[in-house]
Amino acid sequence: MAEVIELAAYGDAFRIDPHPVYAQLRERGPVHRVRLPSPDSHHETWLVVGYEEARAALADPRLAKDGSKIGMRFLDEEQIGRYLLISDPPEHTRLRGLVSRAFTMRRVEQLRPRIQQITDELLDAMLPLGRADLVDSLSYPLAITVICELLGVPELDRAEFRKLSTEAVAPTSADSEHAAFVRLAEYLTELIEDKRCSGPGDDLLGDLIRTTAEDGDRLSPPELGGMAFILLIAGHETTVNLITTGVHALLTHPDQLAALRADMSLIDGTVEEALRYEGPVENATFRFAAEPLEIAGIPVAQGDEVMIGLTAADRDGSRYPAPDRFDIRRDTRGHLAFGHGIHYCLGAPLARLEARIAIRTLLDRTPALTLDGAPGDWLSGMLMRGLRRLPVRW
């Protein structure tokens, strides 16, 4: 039997800064049996922390995303419906193909002027104040406005939606997580029905309702609900965290901030290094061994859960020299912040575009930007990596 490592034993320090723990684990080996620091303290899984092993596992078809293959159903599937992150080929191939018809690179690039406009308007409101929480004033409203306009979602009660969305991806308790999924499912069902009745508009959700493959295939109502859920939640949560942690990294590394201010052509490299250094998704969602296999020589039994550490892999010194150094000129090619293989993040181009525009515009308009005290809490759980607040002044 493999030794089971109690991640809860590392205490609150593990949530605030998991990188030293992941480094210790990598020194001992690329794969470990761990017990998660969750309300369910008996939850055990395999955790992959080495870069090469993580990259291989992300693309291994023996590691299924569909829990029904081992007799498991998820809370989100029961409430929301089927979607990309809990499906395998051929279902995944079909779903991704239908979504890719509507969510194209051309569509993302067409958003550039609107993203710039929203950013400018948010900064117009923020800058006269002299100080602000960057999450409340820029990262969150930018990301949620862009994804809602892209999907064709009406103006939401953003305070309520932010609470529900954060609870879904970084739950504080099992009960509140369940309540969040129930309310999100109700909202998405009503939204899709309204769009069907009023006639789909010229937006992504409207296109998804209309989209038909050559063979006449189209998304069913539950599949539309699942797709709207993953695009709406993943489409803004990751971007909020990327913008916020990217700015935090720059403000805590003044030499890198100075280098970027001196040469804004480094903005693309800055965003890629922010993704590698403190990516918005700490660990990929669970995979399940559909058959017995080995990962780095460690036997994994059929039915076992496997968690792939994206954050841990991207700080592996065998792939990235001096991995704990934030270096905007680094060659970051191959980082796993958006995953790898068939589940590579569909929204990666949009997240990159928003982060580049937001960070560059913020720095252009605040020559004296600095931290205004300690940042807020890091998100709970092991899925998302991000700050709840980032106080700044200028």
pLDDT tens figures, 160-198: 777 777 787 777 777 888 888 888 888 888 888 888 777
* Count of helices and strands (H, E) across the chain: 17, 11
In this structure, what are the phi and psi dihedrals at residue 32, rounded to the nearest 5 degrees?
-140, 150
Q: What was the pLDDT predicted at 41?
A: 54
Which residues are 391's β-sheet partners? 133
- Rounded Cα distance between 88 and 14, Å, is 32
CA-nearest of 22, 9, 1, 100 to 308 is 22
Which residues are 318's β-sheet partners? none
- Rounded Cα distance between 213 and 327, Å, is 44
Q: What was the pLDDT predicted at 39?
A: 59
CA-nearest of 285, 323, 274, 311 to 139 is 274
The domain 4-393 belongs to what CATH superfamily?
Cytochrome P450 (1.10.630.10)
Q: What percent of the chain has pLDDT over 70?
A: 94
- At residue 151 the predicted structure's pLDDT band, cuts being 50, 70 and 90, is confident
- At residue 385 the predicted structure's pLDDT band, cuts being 50, 70 and 90, is very high
Using an 8 Å Cβ cutoff, are 84 and 346 in contact?
A: yes
Q: What is the CA radius of gyration of the chain?
A: 21
- Rounded Cα distance between 55 and 179, Å, is 34
Task: Assign residue 107 a region (left: φ > 0; alpha: ψ between -120 and 50; beta: otherwise).
Answer: alpha
Q: What mean pLDDT comes out for the span 67-75?
A: 71
- Rounded Cα distance between 106 and 344, Å, is 18
Mean pLDDT of the chain: 90
Q: What is the pLDDT of residues 86-129, one digit of tens each?
A: 899 999 998 898 888 778 888 899 999 999 999 999 999 999 99
